[in-house]
Each structure stands twice: as C-alpha cells, then as structure tokens.
Structure 1
Amino acid sequence: MALAKTPVQDNAYAAALALLERAPLIDGHNDLPYVIRLDAKAKGDVAAYDLTKVHPETDTDIPRMQAGKLAGQFFAAYVPPNHPKPAGFALAQIALMQNVLAKHPKVFRPGLSAADVEAAKTEGRIALFMTIENGSAIDNELDALDAYSALGVRLMTLCHNGTHDWCDSATDAPRHNGLSAFGKDVVRRMNRLGMIVDLAHVSPKVMHDALDVSNAPLVWSHSNAFTLCDHPRNVPDDVLDRVAENNGIVMATFVPDFISQASRDWHRPAKDQYGKTPDGMDYQKAEAEIVAKSGPRPTATLAQYCDHLDYLAKRIGYDHIGIGSDFFGGVAPEGLEDNSTFPALIAELIRRGWSEEHLEKLAGGNMLRVMRAVEAAAER
C-alpha cells in the first residue's frame, strides 16, 4: 500500500470538504479488526498497533479516518470460511473492537443506533458500529443472535466466500438453493432484534429469498453493479430492481476486482470457477505467474468507481445507494487508497453534476434512513 496522493485542490474539492463538515459520512464496511489481528507485531493488541499513528502499509488509522471526515464506521468481526471455531473467532474480534472503543473514547463512541451517528457528528467523534461478517458465527443457534445483539452487534453479513450450513455464497457451490428454512428464520430473528441483514457475499438466490422474507430494509454493505463488472460478488440487475421496493441500500465498494472488468479478468487464472481463491493456493506465486504471462495488474480508478455509483443511481435511485469501502489492507483503486480519500470521492461526483441533496444521501443520509427503519421494524 502507498499513502493517497494529494487530491486536486479545486472548487469541487473545497465544496466536498464543506459538505462533509455538515453532512454525516458513513462507511458500511471496513476490516480493520482483522488487519490488527494479522499484524505481525501487534497480533491483535490494539495498544501495540497504535491507531493514533499513520500506517502507510495499510489504509485505516485515526489520522486518516479524521481526514476523511467519517461520522460513522461499520467495522467487521470477520470470520474466515470453514473456521473450526467460528463463534469464538467472532467473539475475539468483537473484544478487539470493544478495546478500540475503550482506548480511544475521545475519537470513537459506541454505535448502537442512527442517533449515535448524529451525536458523533455533533461531538466531532466517529460512531463505531460492530458487525459480524459471516453468519457461521452463530453456530446454527438462533439465540446466539440475541447474545451478539446484546454485545452491541448491529449488522451481520449472512455468509462470506464459502457456502455454510444455511446460506449459499456468491463465490461457492450452492447447497440450499438460496437460504435454507433456518436461514430464513435468521433473517426474521434479525428483523426482530433490529440487526441489519447484510447481503454482500451471498448468492443472487439468497438475495431474492431475503427480499421475500424480510420486513425491514436490507443492505449490501460492500457490493457493486454486476452489469459493469461481472464479479459474482456484485449485484445483478434483477436484484437491483427490487431494492427500492424494499427501501434498502447498495453500498458501493472500493475492491478493484469489483470495480474494473479488466482487473477482474486479469485475476481469473488465480480464481476457481466461483471467483474465489482456491484453498491452499500460493496466491503470491499465482499472481507472479499472471504478471509473467499477461503483464502488470490493471489499475482500478476513482472514476470507474464513480461509474458504478452513476449506474446504481440511475437504476435504483439516489435514495438507495451508499459507500462501503471494504478497506482491508490490500490493493485499492487509484484515488481511493485509504480513509483520507472520501472527500476526493465526493469531489469527483460534484464534477459530474451530482446535487448536494443526492450527495448528502449517498454520504450517510440513506444509511441513516435504513437504520431508523430497521430500528422501527424491531419495535413493531
């Protein structure tokens, strides 16, 4: 990773900074907890990692989150597919996030509701929302959702890159033709608890099943438009056409292979038929072989990312889109290298003619509406 370059200092960038001073910005997905856990020196120790300093080797730390004008951040308790102890792993990640809150109370406040984002904006802090990325973390126990909710978890991604006991993944062989009966009960229980159902990573059939079952808005916390880039993690048009009716939101992600068709195609030799890295593959060796055969990896760009936002806005409306970076310490698009680049994103959209109203909805207004609706559904 490299630090983001200084953005173009024009009128659009100045307007973007001014907009983000008054409008809350929410990022729907970031894997910082897993980055801290994998760090060779910190090994999961938040104090040893030291979030107060800039980490040029990755993309997320307090100085750059503040420079990016964030008011709300959804951090993931990522659980690797097929992990032998998924609940324990998820709980360890939750504990790590609680440690971040404890060590940096002047920077973060606990994120438990939409009201916490608004309060954080007023206070000059960031509302930290804890999420689970991979529903295998409940160990096939519905009541585990109640326990996670009590711990402060407010969103769960139903699966990750592997199909598990009740949910088919977008990047694995299907076993349930979508959601199993138990999987549908998971959606219903999450509705009752006021926990956001996240459909990033799930198969299109699961998306349709959840849309059929849920009585609250659904979220795709880090997915793009399949029509512009045919990665299986992106959302197909027949699903997009149901998002507005559900009052949900698709939060476009920064992952290069989900933005750029050229990047997606370049990577195909290192992926299996479902679009994921095969178990046991030496990924660095595989990428080196691709470079030797096809040349350097094509670069995804901020402009291409904004093409996805333009497409989504036209297809499903400005009320149903958001931002879900999926920063995870890996390769990022040119112009979206780290947490400091959110104003540059808003500036690019200003140059494209987006109105202030639409930009405020994209930045955080739409996600706040979804959060309130999920909270209201739970009260009912």
Structure 2
Amino acid sequence: MVLAAAPVTDAAYDMALALLDRVPLIDGHNDLPYVVRLDRTAKGDLSAYDLGKVHPETDTDIPRMQAGKLAGQFFAAYVPPNHPKPAGFALAQIALMRRIWERHADVFRPGLSADDVEAARKEGRIALFMTIENGSALDNELDALDAYWDLGVRLMTLCHNDTHDWCDSATDAPRHNGLAAFGKEVIGRMNRLGMIVDLAHVSPKVMHDVLDVSTAPVVWSHSNAFSLCDHPRNVPDDVLDRVAGNDGLVMATFVPDFISQASRDWHRPAKDQYGKTPDGLDYKKAEAEIVRTAGPRPKATLAEYCDHVEYLAKRIGNDHVGIGSDFFGGLNPEGLEDASTFPRVIAELIRRGWSDENLAKLAGGNMLRVMRSVASAAAR
C-alpha cells in the first residue's frame, strides 16, 4: 500500500489543521495490534516492527498518527471468530498494547478515562485506549469482564463477523433472535463497570435488544448508514432513530464496502448472503474473476465518506456522530489512505459549510461526552 497522496492544501485544509490544534481528535477503532501480530517478520514483536518508522505497506504508525493530529486512539484486541482459545488470544493482544504504552511512553499516554485525552494533548502525546473486538473473549465467564477492566480495557465490541454463544452477528446466521440471556448480563456488567458497549458487527435485533436494556450510552465504533450503502455491517434507519434517545454515538468508518454502494455491489460475487467471505474461498482468485467479468473495483472516496457523516448528522443529530477509521492494513478509500488523513475529513466538511462547533463534536467532543456519561452511569 502506498502512502496517501498529498492533500488539497486550500484554505479549508489550513482551517482544519488549525481546528485540530484546538480540539481533540479521537479515532474509535484501529486494528494495528493485529497487523503487528500478523506481520511475517515481527510476529507481534514491537522491536522488530518499529512503530516509530513509516510503514508504507500498511496504514498506521507513529509518524502518520502524529501527522493526523490524533489526541485519542482506540486500539482493538481483535479476536478472530471461532478462535479455539479466544481469551488467551485477547490477553496476548492486550499485552501487546500495554507494551506499546511502555515502549513508546513519549508518544502514548495510557487511556483510562476521558480526562486522559485532554491530559495527553497538553503533554503532546496520544491517549491510547484498549478495546476488545469480539465478546467471545469472555469464554462465557461474566467475571472475565472485571479482569479485562482491571487490565485497562475500556470498550468491548460484542461480536465480530460470526455469531457466537450469546450474540447474533450482522454477517452470520442468527442463533438467538438477537441477544441471549447471558448477553444481557454482559451489558449489565459492562454498565456497572463503566465499560463502553460497542454495537459494531452485531445484528439489528441485537442493536435493539441492547438499546432496550443498557443504562448507559452505547457506540458503534466503526459503522456507516445502511440507507446509503446496504452492507449488513451498517446501521439501519430504525436503529439510528433510537441513538439520540440513548445519548449514543455512531462513528463513521473508512471501510470501502461500507461507504460505496458500487464497491459493495462489485464485491457481491465473492461474498455470501451475509456479506462476508465464505470459508475456504480463494479470495484473490475470486476477485480476479470479478475483474475479468465486471472490470476494476470501484473506489470509495473521501466525498462519499462525508456523505455518510452528513446523513448521520441529519438523521440523528450532530451530537451523535464520530469517526472510527477501522484501519486494518487493507484497502482504504481514495483520500483516506492512512492515519495521516484525518484532517481531510474536517477540511471536506468545512467546504460543505460545517460550523466549528459541530466539527469539534465530530472530531472528539461527542466521544468524550459518551465516555463521561458511561462513567457517570457506572458511578450511579
């Protein structure tokens, strides 16, 4: 993967950079820990990977995070669906993230609360928050949540691309008609701990079930609007219409097939009915066949991404929209190629007439509010 092309350096871009010097920018989801784990050379060894240098083969490293003016970053301990030892894998990824804190203490401040974002900005650092992506990491043990909390985990995505023992996935066959009874216990414990409930990846029925029982705001850390792109990972309007009532947050994501209907449609021959790659499929061969029959893959763009942001803002209000890149070392939209490109989102919305107040909410203000509200609900 090549580095991002030079941005359009007009007055709006200069204004975006100036705004991000004044207000915090928070990215709700990044899979860098998994990228480091999968790297053929590093295999999870941070000294071998060297986050301090630019990695043109992927999208996230310290130089580009700093260029992107991040104040807060949520890194995921992603657990692959159906992993035979999900808790052990999650713990290994948490250990990797804690090593990032330690090895790069001059760059990252441990993120444990909203206050750490403001503190990190004053120190010229980035608040690094740890999350778990896939509730299978609990191994069906409710008390595991307390242990993860004590290790510093502050958000959990309930499932990933497969349905598991207590939660139906958006991209798999349902088994529980939404959230199983144990899943509702999980929500209750997360609420009491102050851990943010993340509904990215869950089925619409689970979204409704969680909104019915959660006593704290919830987030979608990396999802877009289903009405603009009908990928099942995106949020349908009937769910969006409940977000403001929960005081929750949808963090629009950069994944091309969640942004562009053309990209989504182009990919359909290589996906199953649930929108994911079938087990055992030779993906490169399948894509080559699509290219042969349908031509090159359509590109998602920064402009289309901002269409999702604007749709969400109009549907649910400017208080309930954020940014969740989901950088994972794969193909990214044109104009949003890597972690240096966040200011381009702000610049494009400035060109569309967004106020500084609403841009500040989008960039990080809304996530800070949700973090504080979740903490307050736990204290009650």
Fold equivalence (TM over 0.5): yes
Q: Secondary structure at the match of 1:340?
A: coil
Please give the secondary structure, in 1, of the residue aligned with 2:137. Answer: helix
Quote the Cα distance in structure 1 between the aligned partners of 2:288 and 2:96: 34
Aligned residue runs from structure 1 range 17-36, under 5 A: 17-36=17-36
CA distance, structure 1, for counterparts of residue 123 and residue 261 of structure 2: 41
Q: Which residue of 1 aligns with 2:107?
A: 107
Identity %: 83
Distance 1:120 1:68 in 2: 15
Deviations 1:258-284 (A, max 9, x none): 000000000001100111111111111
* 1:222 lines up with 2:240 in the alignment: no
Letter aligned with residue 296 of structure 1: P
Give runs of aligned pairs for residues 257-336 of structure 1, distance below 5 A: 257-336=257-336
1:251 maps to 2:251:
yes
Match of 1:180 in 2: 180
The aligned runs of 1:35-74 (5 Å cut-off) are 35-74=35-74
Letter in 2 for 1:247: D
1:118-143 deviation line (CA, Å, top 9, x unaligned): 10111110000000000000000000
* Alignment correspondent of 1:348: 348
1:76 positional shift: 0.2
Question: Any stretches of 5+ residues in structure 2 without a counterpart?
Answer: none
Give the residue type in structure 2 aligned to 1:138.
L
Q: What letter matches 2:348 in structure 1?
A: E
Residue 47 of structure 1, CA deviation: 1.0
Give the CA deviation at 1:344.
1.0
Q: In the aligned structure 2, how far is the partner of 1:41 from the partner of 1:99?
A: 18
Q: What is the rounded CA distance, in whole Å, between the counterparts of 2:241 and 2:228 in structure 1?
A: 15
Q: TM-score, with normalisation over the residues of structure 2?
A: 1.00
Partners of 1:2 and 1:335 in 2: CA distance: 12
SS of match in other structure, 2:274: coil
In the alignment, structure 1 residue 134 sits paired with structure 2 residue 157: no
Distance 2:25 2:282 in 1: 38
For 1:367-378, list aligned pairs within 5 A: 367-378=367-378
State the 1:305 CA deviation: 0.1
Supply the distance in 2 between the matched residues of 1:188 and 1:52 (Cα, whole angstroms). Answer: 40
SS of corresponding position for 1:189: helix
Whole-angstrom distance in 1 between the partners of 2:172 and 2:344? 35
Which residue is equivalent to 2:207? 207
Structure 1 residue 192 corresponds to structure 2 residue 192: yes
CA distance in 2, matches of 1:272, 1:45: 35
Amino acid at match of 1:297: R
Shift of 1:178: 0.3
- Check if 1:158 corresponds to 2:130: no
Runs of 4+ in structure 1 over 2 Å off: none
- The code of the aligned residue for 2:327 comes to F
Q: Structure 2: which amino acid aligns with 1:46?
A: L
Give the distance between the partners of 1:189 and 1:120, measured in 2 at CA: 29
Tell me by how many angstroms 1:157 deviates.
0.1
Which secondary structure does the structure 2 equivalent of 1:339 belong to? coil
Q: Letter of the 1:7 partner, please give it.
A: P
Report whether the alignment pairs 1:94 with 2:90: no
The alignment of Structure 1 onto Structure 2 pairs a total of residues equal to 380
| Distance of 2:86 and 2:288 partners within structure 1 | 32
Matched letter for residue 117 of structure 2: V
How many angstroms apart in 1 are the aligned matches of 2:46 and 2:288? 33
Alpha-carbon displacement from aligned partner over 1:26-51 (angstroms, at most 9, x marks no partner): 00000000000000110100111000
Matched, 1:359 2:355: no
Shift of 1:9: 1.0
2:18 pairs with 1:13: no
Identify the residue that residue 85 of structure 1 maps to in structure 2: 85
**How far off its partner does 1:22 sit?**
0.8
Residue 240 of structure 2 aligns to which amino acid in structure 1? L
Q: Deviations over 1:288-332 (max 9, x none)?
A: 111111111000000000000010000000000000000000000
- What amino acid does structure 2 have at the position aligned with 1:196? I
Q: Please, which runs of 5 or more residues in structure 1 have no aligned partner?
A: none
State the 1:106 CA deviation: 0.4
How far apart, CA to CA, are the structure 2 residues paired with 1:2 and 1:158? 33
One-letter code of the match for 2:32? L
Give, in whole Å, the separation in 2 of the partners of 1:125 and 1:205: 39
- AA matched with 2:220: W
Q: TM-score, normalised by structure 1?
A: 1.00
